[in-house]
């Protein structure tokens, strides 16, 4: 028997960062798109900002298996998948693919049900580093947790380090059992759309579930719509003409960052505006997402507008705290944070020094509270240091 080598380190200590083809291109994928997106990942600086995975979503294979094996559609991927993987790797990036726990993928291509071990070996032979694993066409009688356990075990023993990205949309109480399947991230929400309503819905559904994510198994609130501005081949995703405003994309990114979601870009990274680049490559916001302890935030709501205005506070490695202020309302509103509520009473003798993650500078020291006006759908994000008053 071949000696088994342990992975160099456990996979996905912090939320994975990358790009996925689904939001913008859905079924319109091919080798050229993947390779040019890998080029863009490097040329735009996204790779150096921390984005590593280039992930092909649904619709990459033939409609039927050939001799039991998954086969890339030769019209879309004329030189096969290893060729694409090699190209992605040559750019210093990691390569991801997609399959499904059911008999078919959501778009009707073959799924991995009862083929888990064979498919894991196939993915390993192509050089795959990340597998997104969907939940469509699950036989009614099959146990969902068991299907994720199967692929989890198959991937852990396929001879290659492959990040396991479970995608069952929060169904069947996934928060309670997914960590034990070996998954490295788990989709906890239905599909995102390029609209503020969708962003708000997903956030509300995961507030209060912060305790379930953590190192090596992250709560995935779905791919980002930052920078899409209504551009998608999939009219369901582009539900609102023009998508979101730049402010809404900024807030969407801040929420995914502080709520510890993976940061998988969904726009066309070959055509990003400066504002999109600035949002996606903000080093201070990314650092909050990538904090090694992966502690979820707690929520403090604004006393006179608790449904719409709130702060999220996340303890960071080393003693700092990330503090985000969010306004979901349709008019400007105040958020005032009493430091008492986050564990810092006046009697301590300490206050907070706030570093603004958008202005990239320290704005001052505050002793008991900090209050600010926030525009509709906007946010503020600080890195707070506990300092002597």
CB of 287 to ligand GAL, least distance (A): 27
For ligand GAL, which residue has the nearest CB? 106
Which residue shows structure tokens 């929400």?
189
Number of residues interacting with ligand GAL: please give it, by CB under 6 A.
11
CB of 100 to ligand GAL, least distance (A): 8
Task: Clarify whether 134 is annotated catalytic.
Answer: yes
Report how far residue 55's alpha carbon sits from residue 385's, in angstroms, rounded to the nearest whole number.
37
Is 205 a binding residue for ligand GAL by CB under 6 A? The answer is: no
Is 167 a binding residue for ligand GAL by CB under 6 A? The answer is: yes
For the CA atoms of 364, 369, 372, 377, the dihedral, rounded to the nearest 10 degrees, stands at: 120
Is 256 a binding residue for ligand GAL by CB under 6 A? The answer is: no
SS3 category, 107: coil
Q: Per the residue annotation, which of 191, 284, 341, 356 is the catalytic one?
A: 191
With respect to ligand GAL, which residue has the nearer C-beta, 97 or 337? Answer: 97
With respect to ligand GAL, which residue has the nearer C-beta, 61 or 105? Answer: 105
Is 200 a binding residue for ligand GAL by CB under 6 A? The answer is: no
CB of 290 to ligand GAL, least distance (A): 23
Cβ-based neighbour number of residue 6 at 10 Å: 7
Q: Which of 191, 239, 334, 368 binds ligand GAL (CB under 6 A)?
A: 191
Is 228 a binding residue for ligand GAL by CB under 6 A? The answer is: no
With respect to ligand GAL, which residue has the nearer C-beta, 22 or 148? Answer: 22
CB of 206 to ligand GAL, least distance (A): 15
Cβ-based neighbour number of residue 186 at 10 Å: 27
Around 100, how many Cα atoms within 13 Å sit in the side-chain half-sphere? 22
Is 239 a binding residue for ligand GAL by CB under 6 A? The answer is: no
Q: Per the residue annotation, which of 58, 119, 129, 134 is the catalytic one?
A: 134
Q: Which of 129, 134, 268, 378 binds ligand GAL (CB under 6 A)?
A: 134
Q: Rounded to 5 degrees, what are φ and ψ at 61?
A: -105, 175
Contact 389, 351 (CB under 8 A): yes
Give 67's contacts (C-beta < 8 A, 6+ positions apart): none
Is 55 a binding residue for ligand GAL by CB under 6 A? The answer is: no
CB of 87 to ligand GAL, least distance (A): 22
Give 268's contacts (C-beta < 8 A, 6+ positions apart): 24, 25, 37, 227, 231
With respect to ligand GAL, which residue has the nearer C-beta, 189 or 327? Answer: 189
Range 80-109, binding ligand GAL (CB under 6 A): 105-107
In a 10 Å sphere around its CB, with 0-12 CB exposed, 13-18 middle and 19+ buried, how is residue 384 labelled? Answer: buried
Report how far residue 347's alpha carbon sits from residue 95's, in angstroms, rounded to the nearest whole number.
52
With respect to ligand GAL, which residue has the nearer C-beta, 165 or 282? Answer: 165
Is 320 a binding residue for ligand GAL by CB under 6 A? The answer is: no
Task: Clarify whether 341 is annotated catalytic.
Answer: no
Q: Which of 21, 24, 37, 58 binds ligand GAL (CB under 6 A)?
A: 58
* Cβ burial 207-239 (10 Å sphere, 16+ → b, else e): beebebbbbbbbbbbbbbbbbbbebbebeebbe
CB of 27 to ligand GAL, least distance (A): 8
Strands 321-327 and 218-220: unpaired
Report how far residue 81's alpha carbon sits from residue 379's, in angstroms, rounded to the nearest whole number.
41
Report how far residue 113's alpha carbon sits from residue 221's, in angstroms, rounded to the nearest whole number.
25
Contact characters 278-297, ligand GAL, x per CB under 6 A: --------------------
Q: Which of 15, 19, 21, 22 binds ligand GAL (CB under 6 A)?
A: 22
CB of 219 to ligand GAL, least distance (A): 15
DSSP secondary structure string, 196-248? HHHHHHHHHHHTT-GGG-BTTBEEE-----TT-TT--S-TTTS-STT---HHH
Would you tell me which residues interact with ligand GAL (CB under 6 A)?
Answer: 22, 57-58, 105-107, 134, 136, 167, 169, 191
Residues designated catalytic: 134, 191
């Amino acid at each position: 028997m071949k000696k088994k080598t342990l992975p160099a380190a456990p996979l996905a200590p912090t939320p994975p960062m990358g790009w996925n083809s689904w939001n913008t291109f859905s079924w319109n994928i091919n080798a050229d798109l993947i390779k040019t997106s890998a080029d863009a990942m490097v040329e735009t600086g996204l790779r150096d900002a921390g984005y590593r995975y280039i992930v092909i979503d649904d619709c990459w294979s033939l409609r039927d298996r050939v001799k039991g094996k998954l086969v890339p559609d030769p019209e879309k991927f004329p030189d096969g998948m290893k060729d694409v993987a090699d190209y992605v790797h040559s750019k210093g990036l990691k390569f991801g693919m997609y399959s499904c726990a059911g008999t078919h993928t959501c778009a009707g291509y073959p799924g991995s049900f009862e083929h888990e071990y064979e498919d894991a070996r196939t993915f390993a032979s192509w050089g795959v580093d990340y597998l997104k694993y969907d939940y469509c066409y699950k036989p009614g009688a099959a146990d969902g947790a068991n299907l994720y356990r199967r692929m989890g075990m198959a991937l852990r023993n396929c001879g290659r380090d492959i990040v396991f990205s479970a995608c069952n949309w929060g169904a069947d109480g996934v928060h309670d059992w997914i960590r034990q399947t070996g998954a490295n991230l788990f989709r906890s929400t239905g599909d995102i759309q390029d609209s503020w309503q969708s962003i708000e819905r997903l956030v509300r559904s995961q507030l209060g579930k912060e305790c379930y994510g953590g190192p090596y198994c992250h709560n995935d609130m779905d791919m980002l719509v930052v920078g899409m501005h209504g551009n998608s081949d999939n009219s369901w995703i582009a539900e609102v003409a023009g998508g979101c405003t730049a402010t809404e994309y900024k807030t969407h990114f801040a929420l995914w960052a502080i709520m510890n979601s993976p940061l998988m870009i969904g726009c066309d990274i070959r055509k990003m505006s400066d504002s999109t680049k600035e949002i996606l490559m903000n080093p201070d916001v990314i650092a909050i997402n990538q904090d090694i302890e992966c502690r979820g935030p707690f929520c403090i709501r604004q006393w006179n507008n608790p449904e719409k205005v709130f702060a999220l506070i996340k303890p960071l490695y080393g003693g700092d705290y990330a503090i985000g202020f969010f306004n979901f309302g349709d008019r400007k509103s105040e958020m005032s944070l009493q430091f008492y509520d986050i564990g810092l009473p006046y009697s301590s003798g300490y206050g907070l020094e706030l570093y603004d993650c958008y202005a990239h500078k320290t704005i001052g020291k505050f002793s008991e509270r900090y209050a600010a006006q926030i525009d509709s759908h906007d946010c503020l994000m600080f890195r707070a240091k506990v300092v002597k008053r």
